[in-house]
Amino acid sequence: MDKTLLLQSYDLKATPQRLEIVGALYVQGHLNIDTLYSELKNKFPSISLSTIYKNINTMIDKGFLSELKIPSEKNLYELIKEEHSHVICTQCKKVTDIHLNISSLLQEARNISKYKFQKSSIILNGTCPECF
């Protein structure tokens, strides 16, 4: 993935801090502010939390980052790729992407509610194989 190109394609300057944010999210999938902050601290000891917040917000505004709100957990941030759902282990709190076919679910919801659906946020809570 060309991080510089990604940023520039959204009219954002490819600063070292932003490259690192995008890189961390690309490699690790979902990160909360604190984790992101400590990751970045390693490379830029003088980075400030507000830089991270500002960048996350602009990336969300630009439309290539999304915020994931999880009941009783801190918000996570992830680069937007294809639509997908999330599973969370109740024990170890690990968050994983899962690609579910939700077309029949949406169909059913459309029949019942008469809404026109644009987006869905599906989070499944369970116990992962390692935590059984």
Partner DNA sequence: CTGACTGCAAACGTTTTGCACGGTA
Partner DNA sequence: TACCGTGCAAAACGTTTGCAGTCAG
77 sits in which H/E element: strand 76-79
41 sits in which H/E element: helix 33-43
Closest CA to 123 of 81, 85, 92, 69: 85
Q: Which of 61, 73, 74, 91 binds DNA (CB under 7 A)?
A: 74
CA distance 100 to 122: 10
Span interacting with DNA, options 41-49, 78-86, 96-104, 113-121, rule CB under 7 A = 41-49
Binding of residue 112 to a copy of itself (CB under 8 A): yes
Binding mask 82-111 for a copy of itself (x = CB under 8 A): ---x-x-xx-----x-xxxxx-xxx-xx--
The entry of DNA, a copy of itself, none near residue 71 (CB within 5 to 8 angstroms by kind) is a copy of itself
Sheet bearing 31-32, strands edge to edge: 31-32, 76-79, 65-68
Give the footprint of a copy of itself on this chain (CB under 8 A). Answer: 66-72, 85, 87, 89-90, 96, 98-102, 104-106, 108-109, 112-129, 132
